[in-house]
Amino acid sequence: MQFRFNVIRVISKIHGYIYSGSGGRIGKKLGNQDIALLTTIGRKSGKRRNVPLAVIGHEEKYLIIGSFGGSPVHPAWFLNVESNPDVQIRLGSKVINASASIIRKSDDEYEKLWNKAVSVYQGFDSYKRATDREIPIIVLSPEN
């Protein structure tokens, strides 16, 4: 199981370099799924950290899901967002400063947003079944 999550990390890192290096021209889609390049500030290092993630448009905002393929631990980027909600997202060639809000299962809107995410990518449900960990939903609100 650990091997699988290490592979996810390596592929994600390569994807992020290509996405960033191409100015968003390459890597903004994976099949039919839109991909954003999320930039956080490392909670330990203080350095900018990039990670490509499936992104779902929702009203005037964007959703990302902290599934990490059903890993028993939260992804590092999520821990960074918990520490500092000021993030940046690249959507193709467009770069947006945003504020991240964490939606947890106990929040009223969780089920509605989860169903929206699953309607776009059904794999999120299998990730949820693969872990005992609560999978958070992150709402990215662009700054004006």
Q: What is the average per-residue pLDDT within 104-118?
A: 97
Domain ranges of the chain: 2-142
| Cα 26 to Cα 113: distance, rounded to the nearest angstrom | 28
Q: For residue 57, what are the β-bridge partners?
A: 62
Q: Which CATH architecture has domain 2-142?
A: Roll (2.30)
Q: For residue 38, what are the β-bridge partners?
A: 51, 89
Q: For residue 13, what are its two tokens?
A: 């890192």
Q: Kindly report, residue by residue over 27-72, the tens digit of the pLDDT.
A: 787 778 899 999 999 999 999 999 999 999 999 999 999 998 888 8
Q: How far is CA 38 from the centre of its chain?
A: 7
| Cα 71 to Cα 67: distance, rounded to the nearest angstrom | 7
Whole-number average pLDDT of the chain: 90
